[in-house]
Amino acid sequence: MELARRAVEISPSPTLAIDAQAKAMKAKGIEVINFSAGEPDFGTPEFIKQAAIAALEADFTRYTPVAGIPELRQAVCNYLQQRGVSYEPSEIVVSNGAKHSLYNAMQVLLNEGDEVIISAPYWVSYYEQIKLAGGVPVVINTDANTDFKLSAAALKEAVTPRTKMIVLNSPCNPTGSVYSRGELEALAEVILAHDLVVLSDEIYAELLYDGGSHTSIAALGPEIKARTVLIDGVSKTYAMTGWRIGYAAAPANVAKAMTDLQSQSTSNPNSIAQKAALAALTGSQEPVKAMRQEFEQRRNRILAGLRELPGITCNKPGGAFYVFPYIGALFGRKFRDQQLNNSTDVAAALLNHFQVAVVPGVAFGAEPYMRMSYATSMDAINTGLERLKQFVSELK
Ligand SMILES: *Cc1c(COP(=O)(O)O)cnc(C)c1O
């Protein structure tokens, strides 16, 4: 059967593919150290699970309003208020994960040929979702020297009359970089000067280390808020990736369009998961604090271990749960007669010979780096670092 051009042009998520390969090896009994996961390794906090059980037992199992139950949309407003942004429930659309929220936003905002600026390293789905909406991804490369951050000057230079949108992701997957208020202000100035829309993916907003706090670009003032679609969800903050609840906060006309689109595609997100998300947002935030502290210790450990390895350098990420070491000094060297030419070669050698799964930087549009997730146990981190050390020491 002949597929539509749209389908032929989709690339499957490389991060999910590597994670699947690592899990398949594990299933065969091979002891894989998996640094490729894009999700917390913790269980969902108990009181959240209890809320879901209660919803199920109360037969909360029918269609809900398309944009989510009113209590949940109100809870999202209250939650975002703490971030310094005020929204009405009518400006909130709850979807099947933040990924779905991003997809809906692109679908209702982009026309054929609209340019969307993303900075590399980028989260893989932005690129494909832009294309699926008929947009044209315009990639601005950044590197470790500028902590992988997009400067206002680089943004300004990339803007053309066809530019419609810029996607921002702070804290960032895959780099863990965090934009400061000043950096966001400078970007906002350019965004406003050119009437752009900013899609602000804030899914890691609660995972900041060293006492840092999150700034949303929407919180910088009413003008920039009116040009922002803010995306967040419960997946990363509450270890709820499988529940599939994310949301968008957007100007009312955009929220309405996203709701209408959703009404013709997926309808409401899962009713039971909505009750669980409501509990997550309104209940104790102690589990979040505990997970954040654990992530911070792991970040410190993995960073220290990586920095001991000759040829590897690594910036200190301020948020999320990834490190993005520079591996350019390994290129051109040989591992058991095989020359390493790029991040894919390094990732393949690590997986095949050391059972260590990492994601090559090229998957995020960036060489010469690799992404390692520290959403795994401290024991696994230590074992993985040992294996990496062995790998590096064997290079000729
Ligand atoms: C995990 C992730 C998402 C999607 O989260 P879901 O709510 O599970 O769909 C969106 N953006 C980034 C950068 C992510 O890492």
Identify which of 123, 170, 295 to mutate to test ligand 1's pocket (most ligand atoms within 8 A of the CB).
123
Please indicate whether residue 281, judged by its CB atom, sits closer than 6 Å to ligand 1: no
| Domain spans of the chain, in order of start | 5-43+287-393, 47-282
- Which numbered atom of ligand 1 lies nearest the CA of 169? 13
Tell me how far the alpha carbon of residue 375 lies from the centroid of ligand 1, in angstroms.
Answer: 14
The answer to whether 335 touches 353, Cβ cutoff 8 Å, is: yes
For the stretch 245-284, pLDDT in tens is 999 999 999 999 999 999 999 999 999 999 999 999 999 9
For the stretch 231-248, pLDDT in tens is 999 999 999 999 999 999
Please indicate whether residue 97, judged by its CB atom, sits closer than 6 Å to ligand 1: yes
Identify which of 128, 200, 236 to mutate to test ligand 1's pocket (most ligand atoms within 8 A of the CB).
236
CB within 8 Å of 372: residues ≥ 6 apart: 35, 302, 306, 322, 323, 324, 325, 358, 359, 384
pTM, entire model:
0.96
The answer to whether 22 touches 347, Cβ cutoff 8 Å, is: no
Please indicate whether residue 241, judged by its CB atom, sits closer than 6 Å to ligand 1: yes
- Which numbered atom of ligand 1 lies nearest the CA of 123? 13
Tell me how far the alpha carbon of residue 121 lies from the centroid of ligand 1, in angstroms.
Answer: 15
Please indicate whether residue 179, judged by its CB atom, sits closer than 6 Å to ligand 1: no
CB within 8 Å of 42: residues ≥ 6 apart: 239, 291, 294
Average pLDDT over residues 206-215: 96
Please indicate whether residue 233, judged by its CB atom, sits closer than 6 Å to ligand 1: yes
State yes or no: pLDDT of 198 exceeds 80: yes
Residue count of the chain: 396
Identify which of 122, 124, 201, 281 to mutate to test ligand 1's pocket (most ligand atoms within 8 A of the CB).
201
Domain 47-282 fold is Aspartate Aminotransferase; domain 2 (3.40.640)
Q: What's the mean per-residue pLDDT of the chain?
A: 96
Average pLDDT over residues 339-366: 94
For the stretch 32-71, pLDDT in tens is 999 998 899 999 999 999 999 999 999 999 999 999 999 9
Ligand 1 atom 5 nearest Cα:
98
Cα(286)–Cα(55) distance, rounded to whole angstroms? Answer: 23
Average pLDDT over residues 306-328: 97
Residue 354 pLDDT class (50, 70, 90 cuts): very high
Top CATH class of 5-43+287-393 equals: alpha beta
